[in-house]
Structure 1
Amino acid sequence: MPIPQTPWEAQVGTAMRSCIAVFGEGPKRVRYLHRSGLAYDINGIFEAQTEQVDPETGAAILSNRPYLHVDLAELQQVPVSGDRCVIRGRTYRVVEPEFDGQGTASLRLHLD
């Protein structure tokens, strides 16, 4: 996967790895299944529920839309819609990978 191109990207990767060490699923506890057939274990931060803010009212909305936050350096290929992840014994399909442009991504998931 991408090698950090700037000192900033390297620092973002370091920060993400620290967050994953504290809030993540544990060492290599997420099974990643790329659409190409490649399967391997990764680290990541799983959120079964997310909170969003309604832009019109400013009200917080709790959603059952799960996300997996990853350091792209963990992945062997770029994540795409249709990939799958096994987290806590349940299989999720990647609906939309959301890249931050700094070497990390939030993968919006749907329970398979």
Structure 2
Amino acid sequence: MTVYPVVKTGADVSRQVLADHPDLMVVAFRFDAVGAEGALHDHVHVQSTFVQAGRFRFTLGDAVREVGPGDSFVVPSGVRHGCVCLEPGVLIDSFTPRRDDFL
């Protein structure tokens, strides 16, 4: 079993790979302050996001919505997305295939 390091990805934001396989990766993103951002971006991976804790305003393509604990959604391949933290918390993201750039 591999223990992956916590990686700072921005102001008050960090990520830690929880598990990986060439076909799938699970990653925890921690947002420690209101206003912390997951910058708008896109990638070829299909992503599912589960809100473990906190509140976030997500942009997903042209849509903007607020999500909180227990909410989940899928980000299709190539769709521009990002978030702003409204209440500190943790997002659990799964990617298929694995995000090799996170290793």
Shorter-chain TM-score tier = 0.3 to 0.5
Ranked by relative contact order (alpha carbons within 8 Å, sequence separation 6 or more), the top structure is 2
Higher helix proportion (structure 1 or 2): 1
TM-score (norm 1): 0.33
